[in-house]
Amino acid sequence: MNTSTSQALFEKAQQYIPGGVNSPVRAFRAVGGTPIFIKSAKGPYVYDEDGNEYIELINSWGPMILGHAHELIQKAVSDAIQHSFSFGAPTRREVEVAELIVEMVPSIEKVRMVNSGTEATMSAIRVARGFTGRDKIIKFEGCYHGHGDSFLIAAGSGAATFGTPDSPGVTKGVANDTLTAPFNDLEAVRQLIDSNKNKVAALILEPVVGNMGCVLPAEGFLEGLRKICNEEGIVLILDEVMTGFRLAKGGAQERFGIKPDLTTLGKIIGGGMPVGAYGGRADIMNWVSPAGPVYQAGTLSGNPIATAAGLTMLNYLNDHPGVYTQLEESGKKLADGFRASLQKLSLNYTLNQIGSMYTLFFTNQQVTDFPSAKSSDLVLFGKYFHAMLNKGIYLGPSQFESMFLSTALTDKHLDMVIQANEESLKEVLNLH
């Protein structure tokens, strides 16, 4: 496979951009080699600058739930552009998007638009602190909530990939206010709260983790957190930037029957455009300026192009429940195919999958938290990643990432992925 154009672009990029990329995981350091520079995408495919075609299993880290460049969303963006790109003033679609989010996610009574998932989580934490009058927060090892200072303590995703979960530039004061617990460990949460009585403002987590690979909550874990937060007056925040509108119309909270106090959203609500949002109980959200004293603002929040894409996406998902049936079927087909290959090859690697999210971990341990995820063979994953890439399958370049399926993937595409997976495992393990 010729990737000379991508190689040349990466060499040039490193002269002008730190590390040659605008988000660390894109640099391919976790898997080796040179990053692929994407030129275009359509449906289930992406195309690089050298003209290579790949079946896409990242989908811009989640938002392309209908595949790339869906016709309805393209048209919505094209129509919106005719009326200018930004106003810095209220628009009709902001109201319509907010109304639709409130309709689709029962726990959300009011919502504020922002420009990214990181903005959403930072803002939700600030509001929770203002509402409770407390300073400390609890997060979980391996959960990633963006690059806000409060969250770069025992973080997942890119931080985990590079082995530097505690970023320089994060002050000791911020670190002291961030308490961390192992995912799926209720007792650890109780101990943290008992030793910080009446000091914890919020507990934030990904209900299904996507940033240490796809890791599911243990039975009773989310329910236990809800009970603890109720008892202690702690604001429960579900970070559904990845899972919102993907695992169900109402997100992971609908799927698991959990009602958080606040929810953070992103990705899908912009149809792939840069966007985020946070929302929840009206009594908490009414603390947000100008209704209340907690300040948060953004010139580009509710951008008319992003809301055009997001409104079209959400309306489609709301009107076509068959999307979720298809995603469930696709996820099950892929998981069944992968597990059949693992059994056939006598391999004990771990596959975690729920709906349209999955990760193949190169470990024989059950992956339920960050330590078990880190038991994976990262060198072997790097070899597997490149074997799949050479077969035209584009994966996330890190063991610590979930993959995301789209409705653009047909049975034929999934069969190709399953076959490529088996061939790649044979190749990197020298099995014949």
- Treating both helix axes as pointing N-terminal to C-terminal, what angle do 71-81 and 304-319 enclose, rounded to 10 degrees? 150
Nearest Cα to Cα of residue 266 among 251, 274, 276:
276
Q: Which of 110, 136, 144, 384 is catalytic?
A: 144
Q: Which of 48, 136, 139, 239 is catalytic?
A: 239
- 413 Cβ neighbours under 8 A, 6+ residues apart: 44, 55
Whether residue 172 lies in the annotated active site:
no
Whether residue 295 lies in the annotated active site:
no
Whether residue 144 lies in the annotated active site:
yes
Residue count of the chain, please give it.
432
Q: Which of 267, 374, 383, 391 is catalytic?
A: 267
Q: Catalytic site residues?
A: 144, 239, 267
